[in-house]
Amino acid sequence: MLTIAAVQASYVLMDREATIDRVDELTADAARQGAQLVVLPEAFVPGTPIWIDTRPIWDGDDRWFRMLVENAVVVPSPATDRLASIAGTHGVWLVVGVQEREATGSTIYNTVLYFSPDGRLVNRHRKLVPTGSERTVWGMGDGSTLRVVDTGRGRVGGLICWENYMPLARFHLYAQGVDVWVAPTLATGDAWVATMQHLARENRMFVVGVNPVLHVDSIRADFPDREELVPAALVEENGPWIEPGNTVVVGPSGAVLAGPVREEERTLVVEVDLTDVAAARRFMDPTGHYNRPDVFSLHVDTSPRPATTVTERSTDTAG
């Protein structure tokens, strides 16, 4: 058995340390409810760059982007040490979405980090392809981070938001024997819940779709250019929930076990029996007896993307 907590919560926009404080509080609460695997939303630390949908690129978003760079998570860093300590203190597997950057440079990656109950960072996945306006702030990941984690209670892995629509990426992770699929996302509505159900049935696994939730009143009054970040006309048209949430947990048959939760902070705690995965694959195992490797093959480049290098060459001359 495995007890999973899918945490739908609000971050403190563009404030890394305050949001990690929230991670600590939320993880502690989930652990008190018996959770062994705690999953938090996409880009949770330090929050979604919500201006990408309200401000045209290059049109005065410099101040907000500067905040993003300053509050992004470097791996490793004191921020990841804090997150690892939270997992260790509460004795849980912790999966949390962050906006990551290298120690130098300003390219941001949409990343999910996995921490073990003994307080270690054990896996990092960078989103392969940012979607739509996300490409104005996020770079692309590579195949080196497409890995599944063996927790000792089951194998956990997954993809971020619309990466879940990439069938080859899914198959590569399926082939690693994933039992619990985590899908931190910003996607909303019933169609996304149907996607989570499809994935669960496709690989006969448990699926945890986790969203952030953000009410306009949660953005602090002194946030820089707040009235431009969340224009009053936009709030009037779409309502006060900038991110309404859509958290759901689905079983191997595609049945919804909990959720979807919308327009509120709430942690869904679900106890699952991982032997249900093996039983369900008796009928459908897409990388086992329902696979045709004699017909199909998949090549995945799991090497890291080469970093840009500068070679300096000096020539000594004798006078």
Q: Which residues are catalytic?
A: 42, 127, 161
Question: Cβ-count burial of 191 within 10 angstroms (0-12 exposed, 13-18 middle, 19+ buried)?
Answer: exposed
How far is residue 34's CA from residue 119's CA, in Å, rounded to a whole number? 18
Closest C-alpha among 269, 222, 225, 237 to residue 12: 222
HSE of 61, CA atoms in CB hemisphere, 13 A: 18
Q: Helix, strand, coil proportions of the chain in percent (round to 5)?
A: 30, 25, 45
Whose tokens are 């309200």? That residue is 54
Please enumerate in sequence order all residues whose Cβ is within 8 A of that of 62, keeping only pairs 6 or more positions apart, or say none: none
CB 171 within 8 A of CB 164: no
C-alpha distances in Å from residue 225, one per residue of 64, 204, 219, 221, 234: 9, 47, 11, 10, 15
Give buried/exposed letters for 64-80 (b at 16+ CB in 10 A, else e).
bbebbeebbbebeeebb
